[in-house]
Structure formats: C-alpha cells, structure tokens
Copies of this chain bind each other. A is one copy, B any other.
C-alpha cells in the first residue's frame, strides 16, 4: 500500500506485523464438512499450491478419521488422509508449507491410521475434542507426539464449556505433549471480551509450559475476522483461516482478509485470490457455506449450527422468522 494518510500514520501500525504469527489454512478440512470431503484432486492441489505461493504456514488437508465409522465409499479421500492420497497431491512436499491433518476424538482409529512421522509427509496432527473427551484426546496427543508429529488440541464448542471444567482441562493440557492449544468457537457465538478473556486464560497455562495458543472462529455473527485479529492482538500465535471463508455452516475467517490486515510481508494475497477464482468459487454450485441469518440465530443463542444447516436445506429456508421463532421457543422454554 503506497496510499498513506495521516490518520493511519498517526497510529501504531507495527502491531499488525506480528512476525511470529502462523496461519493455518483449513479450507479442505473444514469446507469438506459441507461436501463429505468430495473434492477433486485439482481443487486440493490448487489450495496446496496457493498456500505454498502465498507463504501460508500450515495447510490442513483433511481428517484422519475412522474408515469403520465413516464408510469410505460415502466420503472423499480427505476424510481419511491416507498417505498415498496426500502424496498424490503434494509429492514429498519439498516446500516451506507444513501439512496437518485433524483427528476427531472418538471418531479416529488413530493407533491404526497415524503412521510414524518418518513414513508420512504430514507434519502435525491436530486433535479435535469436546470438553468431556479430554482424557481420550490426551491419549491421542501423546500417541501422535510419540510418533514424531507436532500436535495441537483443539477444544471445540468452547462457548458452552463451564469455567471449572475448562480450568481442570487446561491444567491437564499444560502438562500434555501438545505443541499448541486451540480455542475453537464452533458456534461463532463469542463476544470480543470473551475472546480476550479466553486468550488470557489459555496463555496463562500455555506460556509457562512452552506451548502456543491458537484460535479458530466460525462466522455465524460476522465476527470471524474481527475475533481472529483480536486473538492475534491478544497473543495467539497460530490462527486458522480458509479461502473465501470456506468451512462448515457460516464458514471460517477469510484468509484473504486476514492477510490484507496483517502488514506482514511474508504473506501474498494474489495466489489466494487466484485459487478462490479458479477453484473455490466454482465449488458453490455444490457446496454451500457462508453467513446467513439462520446461522446468526444459532450464534445468537449459542448453539450448534446443526439446526440452521437443516433449515437452510429445507423448503422453508427463506422463512427466517419461522426459524427465529422455532429456536427462541426452544431456548426460552
């Protein structure tokens, strides 16, 4: 940006450089929740290439989930991330981009499916867990760590986690092998003061244990970008984002907007815009995502977007007043 003006230069711009920040692209992993991970190879390759060219730090290529629980013929390869499938896209991944896969607590045959690091091009295993699955998640983290991977624990639905349970979990997590602890606003329900509060709390446990804190936000209330930026200001060092916000329901923080705000020359916007144009926008024919009023309403009531997703697929989908009444009755009953 060569355009300068006094308003801008009169404030401290250096605070948006954040040289240590790491961005993880979750387009294929989170977006795949809307199409059973049935992406063609060109699309996955397009996202991979854009991540490499734009200087993104990590790309999450999909899930390491169970082929017993999820019938393989119903899903694309990125539900399982078999080594051969990944290598078909990335070869030996001889780039600076790191690759991650997510394993869901309770939905992954991790002892069977996670290879020793030396046999995999994956760099990181992220374990997604609800608060009640923490003991299992800790076992998964330990397993992946021992196999040689960076690991993160991604605590989902954090907007409904009771404070005491969170404190107890964070004590366990501080003593775990996890490289990073992630705040996941699955419902897109948090307010900015809660983002600040949670960052402070997580850092309190994580920093002394030498762990990073990350943040992953959904866009139900149009705050995914704002809260990701706020997370960075509050010292999150890993943040998730996706191309055009592609992700479950209202989607994620848009990676192109995030890079636009970060005055960090390691990131380039153009390869991402190219990928959005060639591969992501065309997905909209079959894969719906992004903000709409039903998602706002589930975010408002701090509940899973499931009801909104169903409603958006029903014949009533334009009747937002009906959906509001439905949810209000349920919540205020």
Is the CB–CB distance between A332 and B301 below 8 Å? no
CB distance from A83 to the nearest CB of B (A): 33
User: Which residues in B have their C-beta under 8 angstroms from that of A16?
Assistant: 191
User: Which residues in B have their C-beta under 8 angstroms from that of A254?
Assistant: 222
CB distance from A192 to the nearest CB of B (A): 7
* Least CB separation from A3: chain B residue: B302
A87 CB–B CB distance under 8 Å: no
Is the CB–CB distance between A10 and B260 below 8 Å? no
A266 CB–B CB distance under 8 Å: no
Is the CB–CB distance between B324 and A11 below 8 Å? no
A156 CB–B CB distance under 8 Å: no
Which one of B221, B261, B320 lies within 8 Å of A191 (CB-CB)?
B261
The segment from A18-26, A27-35, A162-170 found at the interface with B is: A162-170
Is the CB–CB distance between B222 and A331 below 8 Å? no
Cα distance, A187 to B309, chains bound together (Å):
33
CB-defined interface of A1-15 with B at 8 Å, one 1/0 digit per residue? Answer: 111011110111001
Is the CB–CB distance between A331 and B192 below 8 Å? no
User: Which residues in B have their C-beta under 8 angstroms from that of A301?
Assistant: 1, 3
CB-defined interface of A207-239 with B at 8 Å, one 1/0 digit per residue? Answer: 000000000000001110110011000000000
* Least CB separation from A8: chain B residue: B194
A193 CB–B CB distance under 8 Å: yes
A321 CB–B CB distance under 8 Å: yes
A65 CB–B CB distance under 8 Å: no
Which one of B229, B281, B299, B303 lies within 8 Å of A192 (CB-CB)?
B229
* Least CB separation from A160: chain B residue: B5
User: Which residues in B have their C-beta under 8 angstroms from that of A318?
Assistant: 277, 281
Is the CB–CB distance between B277 and A7 below 8 Å? no
A70 CB–B CB distance under 8 Å: no
User: Which residues in B have their C-beta under 8 angstroms from that of A115?
Assistant: none
Contact of A166 with B273 at beta-carbon distance under 8 Å, contacts A193-B12, A194-B11, A261-B191 already known: no
Contact of A7 with B257 at beta-carbon distance under 8 Å, contacts A222-B225, A269-B324, A302-B1 already known: no
Cα distance, A185 to B205, chains bound together (Å):
39
Contact of A300 with B260 at beta-carbon distance under 8 Å, contacts A7-B197, A293-B276 already known: yes
Is the CB–CB distance between B10 and A197 below 8 Å? yes
Contact of A331 with B221 at beta-carbon distance under 8 Å, contacts A164-B6, A269-B324, A321-B277 already known: no
User: In chain A, residues 254-294, which have Cβ atoms closer than 8 Å to a Cβ of chain B?
Assistant: 254, 256-257, 260-261, 269-270, 273-274, 276-277, 281, 293
**29 A–B contact pairs at CB < 8 A?**
A1-B302, A1-B331, A3-B160, A3-B301, A3-B302, A5-B159, A5-B161, A5-B302, A7-B160, A7-B190, A7-B198, A8-B191, A10-B163, A10-B197, A11-B191, A11-B194, A15-B193, A221-B261, A222-B225, A222-B226, A256-B296, A257-B296, A260-B299, A260-B300, A273-B320, A273-B321, A276-B320, A277-B318, A277-B319
